[in-house]
Structure 1
Amino acid sequence: MSPPLRSGFSRLLAARLSLMHALNFLGVGFYLPFFPVWLASKGLSDVDIGYVLAIPILVRVFVASSVTGLGDRLQPNLLLALLNALAATLYFALAPQDQLVPIAVLTALSAIALSGVVPLADVLTTEQVKAGALRDYGRVRLWGSVTFVLSNLAGGHLIAQHGAWLIPFVLAGSSSLAALAALQAPSPASGVVSGVRQGAPPAGFELPFWLAVGAAACVNATHAALYAFGSLHWRSLGFSGEAIGWLWAVGVLAEIAVFLIAGGIAARGLVGLRWIAIAALVAALRFGAMSADLNLSLTFLLQLLHGITFGCAHLGSLAAVSALAPDARRATAQGRLVAAGALAMGVMTVLSGYLYRLFGPGVFLAMVPVALLGLVLAALAILRAPGNTGLGGRI
């Protein structure tokens, strides 16, 4: 292929994958900050909200690896479209509900469908990077963050103008669009893992892999109190719906900056372990400070650290887990990463419900030891991992 044709193909590929990530995260931008507000509008208590938010997270512990692992054998883009379509149907069914049990059940079922969405999208993208067809994961993935920001802002406006009842309908529409985008996303030409399709016995996961997964899960779990009760806490401080939307947006803008500057780290292997360690340290500082009742200006500044606690951790975990996983099980490896993160997030979300009721903003202080545990696990992974990988990374 001539250089101009190769460049044009790469741009088209990047555009198709960018659209896939953008629409996958459109609904996430409404869900994370405003789904708890919708639950509160239905009369659920703080503890009930904690349980409802934790149930789908815990469900993903048991199904994320299996659902995502199907991408090792099926066309990942078709599987991704099916999962998004199923989630859209379940969100439409959720909209009229106003009792705890049906809300919890339908939320859990939608979580099963969505458990494979983000990891399958990451598999589709990172495989193109490894094949040399795509240069930079971060510049594709950042469009998911862009739509997350836009839906944060739109969600704050919609709730302020019309109320929280719209949220399930918005989530259903977002998942429907994501299903269509998945259909046009490219699958790896030879499958994600040819070894599985040829009947080769799958290799196992070794200790450094699990240490990296554990470290990433801990850093991810430090966001549990923020995701579940950040918006409610900020409302208690008198921040408006629009201000809350901007608070979420500022954090994701910092995340986008990290993806733009350092998105290539996803192809650099074990260097990612250091990024997880840095994210863990900053998470301890971020959520320790958030336990104080900060004013709006300081809260905006603190939200900028999301670029590190999420952005660096996400890029680092993708790089390290992909490097430490067997070639024939990369989709399954992403599922294991999601499952471990869901377990840690679920436990901390349930705990956050009780702690927020008892201590209010003191709930954020409980995230500090979780971050420090992640730092320890990342350090152990660095010590036990090989010094270099086929992806060109070196610790």
Structure 2
Amino acid sequence: MPFNVLPSSKTNLILLGLTYFFYYGQLGVLVPYIGVFLDGRGYSSEQIGQILAYITVARIIGPNIWSVLANYCKPGLFIMRLGAILGFICTFLAYYFYGFWAVTLALGLMMMFWTAILPQLEVVAMDCCQGNAQGYANLRMWGSIGFIVLSIILGALLDVTSTEVILYAMTLVLFALFVMTCLITAPEHPIEHTDQSAHNKAQWQLARSTPFVLFILSALLLQFSFGPFYTFFALYTEDLGYTGTQTGWLIALAVIAEIGMFVVAGRLLQRYSLNSMLIISMMLTALRWYLLAYWAESAVLVVISQLLHAFSFGLTHCASISFIHRYFAKSFQAQGQAIYVSVAFGIGGAAGSYLSGVYWDQGAGAQFTFSLSMGIALLAGAILLFAKHPLLQSPAK
């Protein structure tokens, strides 16, 4: 390690915050602007949806592979560093190849290596915060700041330069992320001399239990509902007459609201049950997609829809991470996080991207696509009514 810092020290927490900054800064490049990048290379909306669906499949496969490998590289820091540097290298493929499958492969490999980072980072962060929900929220807030900074900068750059700047940003941010992963320290845990196979079998049984399956299914549907927003929002606002800078600020506004939620999320989760917070957030997510479907011409209502991101992502994410951290044993938490990321963001994200590409029709199907998302978000909340488990029915400790 370049720096010998204690895991719970202020220095290490700052480094963890910066790691979140660049990890979600990369998301601030990908989520709002990958569709713009692909559109700039001449792909149709259906092709864009297909590419995003294919590369999102990496979020199904990747986290599970990396979580298994992390068992042999505890505490997972090596996996984080490997994922960051290989993701950085893979972006260069897109500099030289422009074909459909070549670009899909380049972005898919980058995504697969990038997925190595988050499950391990979440475990390290929760360990360094000693499981404290508010401490985690304070760290995770820096990821939101990174998302804001990168999305605003790119939005402004798109007004004065080509869409290829999005690719350059991916490369630079991934390299910065690699540097941060080389600096952080993770707590060391004593080796457990238990029957590991029996222990893992018990944990997998927990993962297959009805409450957890319903929780994951709900998370999957929620991410499914984000499909048209993640894939086409920047193109949608362009069609509505917004500039790149205005789009960047709209995207940033959502994440500013998310940061505000992270400030209070720990207190909300300690006062109210996780399930009630998740259900309320999913109902508000449905309202968000309704506003974008039927009132997108109103700048005020688009702003309100973006503010609802505080619930549709901020509160749902904090509640979900808190539940998984308490639900599984420490030795299985990386796998638990991987299941959540790969199923919800992987399967849900891929299906949402693909279906939104089918129905978007160069913007003509925007209203129907967001209406479909509204119904899916409502279904996600309804499913949680049947997820009965003490950890879901009670506040976070």
TM-score, scaled relative to structure 2: 0.89
Q: 1:10 to 1:377 in 2, by over 3 A?
A: farther
Note the C-alpha offset of 1:269: 11
Cα RMSD of the aligned pairs, angstroms, is 2.6
What is aligned with 2:396? 393
What is aligned with 1:305? 308
Q: 1:149 to 1:81 in 2, by over 3 A?
A: same
The CA deviation string for residues 111-170 of structure 1, in whole angstroms up to 9 with x for no partner, is 2111222222111111223367x9610111101100110101100111111111121121
Q: 1:351 aligns with which of 351, 355, 358?
A: 355
Note the C-alpha offset of 1:246: 0.4
Q: Does residue 289 of the first structure (1) align with residue 291 of the second (2)?
A: yes
What is aligned with 1:14? 13
Q: Does residue 369 of the first structure (1) align with residue 375 of the second (2)?
A: yes
What is aligned with 1:259? 262
Q: 1:283 to 1:388 in 2, by over 3 A?
A: closer
Q: 1:124 to 1:276 in 2, by over 3 A?
A: same
What does residue range 113-132 of structure 1 map to in structure 2 within 5 Å? 113-130=113-130
3-state SS in 2 of match to 1:73: coil
Distance 2:154 2:109 in 1: 23
What does residue range 212-291 of structure 1 map to in structure 2 within 5 Å? 212-263=215-266, 271-291=273-293
Q: 1:388 to 1:171 in 2, by over 3 A?
A: closer
The CA deviation string for residues 277-324 of structure 1, in whole angstroms up to 9 with x for no partner, is 121111111101210232223211221000110001101111122222
3-state SS in 2 of match to 1:380: coil
Note the C-alpha offset of 1:200: 5.8
Distance 1:348 1:8 in 2: 38
Is 1:29–1:149's contact at 8 Å kept on the other side of the alignment? yes
Q: Does residue 209 of the first structure (1) align with residue 212 of the second (2)?
A: yes
Distance 1:113 1:270 in 2: 36
What is aligned with 2:82? 82
Give ranges in structure 1 of 5+ residues lacking alignment. 1-6
What does residue range 127-206 of structure 1 map to in structure 2 within 5 Å? 127-130=127-130, 136-190=135-189, 194=192, 201-202=199-200, 203=202, 204=204, 205=207, 206=209
Note the C-alpha offset of 1:194: 4.4
Distance 2:192 2:385 in 1: 33
Is 1:72–1:329's contact at 8 Å kept on the other side of the alignment? no
Give ranges in structure 2 of 5+ residues lacking alignment. 1-5
Note the C-alpha offset of 1:220: 2.3
Is 1:218–1:370's contact at 8 Å kept on the other side of the alignment? yes
What is aligned with 1:318? 321
The CA deviation string for residues 62-113 of structure 1, in whole angstroms up to 9 with x for no partner, is 3322223433432322211110111111112212322111011111111211
TM-score, scaled relative to structure 1: 0.90
Q: 1:141 to 1:196 in 2, by over 3 A?
A: farther
Is 1:73–1:197's contact at 8 Å kept on the other side of the alignment? no
The CA deviation string for residues 258-290 of structure 1, in whole angstroms up to 9 with x for no partner, is 011124667x69933322212111111110121
Matched-pair identity in %? 21
Q: 1:45 to 1:195 in 2, by over 3 A?
A: farther
Q: For this pair of structures, how many residues does the alignment match?
A: 383
Distance 1:151 1:195 in 2: 45
Is 2:222–2:348's contact at 8 Å kept on the other side of the alignment? no
The CA deviation string for residues 165-201 of structure 1, in whole angstroms up to 9 with x for no partner, is 121121011111101101111212117x847896763
Q: 1:269 to 1:137 in 2, by over 3 A?
A: farther
The CA deviation string for residues 195-221 of structure 1, in whole angstroms up to 9 with x for no partner, is 789676312222222221222222222
Letter of the structure 2 residue corresponding to residue 137 of structure 1: Y
Letter of the structure 2 residue corresponding to residue 298 of structure 1: L
Note the C-alpha offset of 1:245: 0.2
What does residue range 28-39 of structure 1 map to in structure 2 within 5 Å? 28-39=27-38
Distance 1:104 1:307 in 2: 31
3-state SS in 2 of match to 1:136: helix
